[in-house]
Amino acid sequence: MGRKRLFFLWLAVLMVIPYCVRAQAWSGVLIPARAIDWSAAGAGPIPNRTAVCSTIAPYSGSAATINSAIASCLSGQVVQLQAGTFALSSGIVFRNKNNVTLRGAGPDQTFVVFTNGDACGGNQADVCIDNGDNNDCAGCGSPANVGSWTGGYAPSSTTITIGGIVGGTTGNSAALVVGQMVFLDQTDDTSDTGQVYVCQTQDVCSQQPGSQNGRPGRGQQQAVRVTAISGTASGPWTATISPGVYMPNISSGHNPQVWWSSVQPITRDGIEDLSFDHTTTALNGGQAAGIRIRNGYGNWVSNVRDINSPHEHVIFYQAAHNTVQNSYFYGSSGTGSSNYGTDTYNGSDNVVINNIFQHMPTTMQQEGCSGCVDAYNFTVDQNYTADPQWQINSSRHHSVGDAFILHEGNVGNGYMADDVHGTSNFATSFRNYWNGREALGGSAPPGKTEQTNPVVIFAYSRYQNLIGNVLGTAGYHTNYETHPSSTKDAGPGNTTSNHSIYTIGWSGDQSTYYGTFPNDTVAYGTTMRWGNYDTVNAAVRWVAAEVPSSLSPYGNALQASQTLPASFFLPAQPNWWATPWSTPPWPAIGPEVAGGNIAGVGGHANNIPAQLCYVNSAIDPNYPGAADRGMLLFNANACYGASTGGTRPAPPTNLTLVVQ
């Protein structure tokens, strides 16, 4: 059976076969209420397409030649850009065109330089992967179709009942078909429940208003795909969805609803093996992106060097199950104070894995994602120019509705769940090395001095799991934790706060009371910490008091074992793990790791493949140097999968299908 036929067989199985209920990698460490099946996240198997529908030589002018080739390419084929420089005065667009790959000769050989981009549904991007439904904008409060959600609220439920159309810009019930991506949501909480709290109201639970990720007043949401549907023409309908419901707080009192585009999501498009330079693009402002995947499902970005994005390098907007892997993201074309690497802005189950982020303020951002995975990424030089002393943590929750996100195996300065635009719940951090101090910036070496914490969990970010991490900088971090004793506790002062491993539950920055809404005295008791090494104690902590075993609901039983799995979502060491310089241990970071090559953390952490690639790759002489060591002349094929003899490394295997 041919590769193409096998792919479509896989897709058919994905659409109609439910996942088996099976033991998770985290079983025995976390209870099911605090975690999900992350092994199914991302785009799934990424095909190595070989049939080329069009080969394009370097040129200057509009992107029309490339866009025409994409639009006319047959399913499962490749638009090939040859080596050289493409100087484009408009954006590259995949508009409702599925199953096509845009591929260069390598990110160190094919260079695409933009002076302008595409409107991309009103959101702007130099590269736009979009289903073409410009009438569908949940953040504007106007999705194409809105239906009532009348049953199937329980966690893991894969069958829901939709009572009928209750709104939307089209009210077209025929749009709800097998394959459609549907968003599940409900109204925000009107007061703090003392448990899961979903809120985005300024001066009640957040420092600023919600960021419009999702419909107004409905910050909690999840994107799923319809795999079967039955019912009458006007409803009600019974829909089978994949994956099942994540959140445990769905109730009729919160007016649950579903909404969807009138066009099926754009799917199975890929961008591979080239460089994008956005330095001179005319796009600017808070919505402009280098690469935007809008209303997309199952797309990917692989072995791409992306330079100086206007706001986000890659944004998943109303998008789910997409993958960014084996890539390199450098810099910001704007002020450098509010730019992001990758960002899910209203979506689910996206995967960002084995990437390098350099010289930008925020690297891995979540703004309304459920079930996303950020794993094995390396971050350096988080250039926040608004305040050179201020540290922005490399892994960050930034908006209402973030839930069940997994941070695994990353190396960077830290993790932050902020309260700037709302609350978050049920995040898991596993086997990361977060040193808690950005080495570059500040008024003098050796680095920044404000909000320099490996872990910052603001007010109303609850039910956090921190397991098997390595945290802190020896000699700098001298205090273990801060958390408020009352809703108006003023805080311990900057000296204590900035030198702490953990700061949990404060409404303001640097372990302070914000002043207009209370500290959260609940968050600390809901946080689970198990098997983490920190440089204050200089030891791995297996402390029963840091496991919320007596909490109700969502308490986590105290583990009988101190043995942790290698991964919470990968079944085995990935095949890109080997590099030409060394093959890190698997796992590379954690309490049982000994003799690691990162100094000052008791031997519990090693360089990960993305870090080795960063350190050993050549510097591109055509770009000015950054504060650290300059921009890389990057190619993933020279960095990963050394055992394959230099051939294209296979993508991470992060989807397991079990047929029953």
**Beta strand pairing status for 539-541 and 532-534?**
antiparallel
Beta strands in 15-91 (DSSP E): 52-56, 60-61, 77-81, 84-88
* Residue 646 banded pLDDT, cuts 50, 70, 90: very low
pLDDT over 80 at 164, yes or no: yes
* Residue 274 banded pLDDT, cuts 50, 70, 90: very high
Count Cα neighbours of 4 within 13 Å in the Cβ-side half-sphere: 10
Give me the chain's average pLDDT, please. Answer: 91
pLDDT over 70 at 625, yes or no: no
Separation of alpha carbons 522 and 306, rounded Å: 41
Give the three-class secondary structure for 647.
Answer: coil
Quote the pLDDT of residue 336: 59
Residues 506-524 pLDDT 10s = 999 999 999 999 999 999 9
Beta bridge partners of 534: 471, 539
Quote the pLDDT of residue 623: 81
CB atoms within 10 A of CB 552: 7
Going 426 to 431 to 437 to 440, the CA torsion angle's sign is: negative
CB 184 within 8 A of CB 224: yes
Q: How far is CA 121 from the centre of its chain?
A: 22
Give the three-class secondary structure for 4.
Answer: helix
Dihedral of the alpha carbons of 608, 560, 466, 371, in degrees to the nearest 10: 90
* Residue 643 banded pLDDT, cuts 50, 70, 90: very low
Q: How far is CA 262 from the centre of its chain?
A: 26
pLDDT over 50 at 70, yes or no: yes
Quote the pLDDT of residue 608: 98
Structure tokens, 354: 């084995």
Give percent above pLDDT 70 in the chain.
92
* Residue 65 banded pLDDT, cuts 50, 70, 90: very high
Separation of alpha carbons 156 and 21, rounded Å: 10
For residues 89-97, give the mean pLDDT: 98
Residue given tokens 């509010």 in the structure block: 338
Give 262's contacts (C-beta < 8 A, 6+ positions apart).
133, 135, 136, 144, 145, 170, 172, 175
Give the three-class secondary structure for 193.
Answer: coil
For residues 177-191, give the mean pLDDT: 96
pLDDT over 80 at 19, yes or no: no
For residues 223-246, give the mean pLDDT: 93
Quote the pLDDT of residue 304: 98
CB atoms within 10 A of CB 408: 25
Give percent above pLDDT 90 in the chain.
81
CB 569 within 8 A of CB 349: no
Give the three-class secondary structure for 272.
Answer: strand
Separation of alpha carbons 437 and 202, rounded Å: 29
- Distances from the Cα of 230 to the Cαs of 144, 148, 660, in angstroms? 21, 15, 22
Q: Which residues of 570-586 are buried (b: 16+ CB within 10 A; e: fewer)?
A: beebbebbbbeeeebbe
Structure tokens, 95: 């508009």
Separation of alpha carbons 417 and 433, rounded Å: 17
CB atoms within 10 A of CB 144: 21
The secondary structure element, H or E, covering residue 260 is strand 257-260
More confident residue, 193 or 241: 241
φ and ψ of 599, to 5 deg = -75, 155
Give 499's contacts (C-beta < 8 A, 6+ positions apart).
452, 476, 477, 478, 479
Going 629 to 635 to 636 to 640, the CA torsion angle's sign is: negative
Quote the pLDDT of residue 444: 67
Count Cα neighbours of 77 within 13 Å in the Cβ-side half-sphere: 14
For residues 203-208, give the mean pLDDT: 97
Give the three-class secondary structure for 150.
Answer: strand
Structure tokens, 11: 């897709």
Q: What is the residue-wise DSSP string for 342-360?
A: EEEEEEE--EEES-EEESS
Beta bridge partners of 79: 54, 102
pLDDT over 60 at 239, yes or no: yes
pLDDT over 70 at 478, yes or no: yes
For residues 90-110, give the mean pLDDT: 98
* Residue 649 banded pLDDT, cuts 50, 70, 90: very low
For residues 347-368, give the mean pLDDT: 96
Quote the pLDDT of residue 135: 74
* Residue 346 banded pLDDT, cuts 50, 70, 90: very high
* Residue 652 banded pLDDT, cuts 50, 70, 90: very low
CA angle 138, 312, 442 (to 5 degrees): 130
pLDDT over 80 at 202, yes or no: yes
For residues 414-440, give the mean pLDDT: 96
Q: Which of 314, 315, 307 is nearest to 281 (CA)?
A: 307
* Residue 15 banded pLDDT, cuts 50, 70, 90: very low
* Residue 650 banded pLDDT, cuts 50, 70, 90: very low
For residues 407-434, give the mean pLDDT: 98
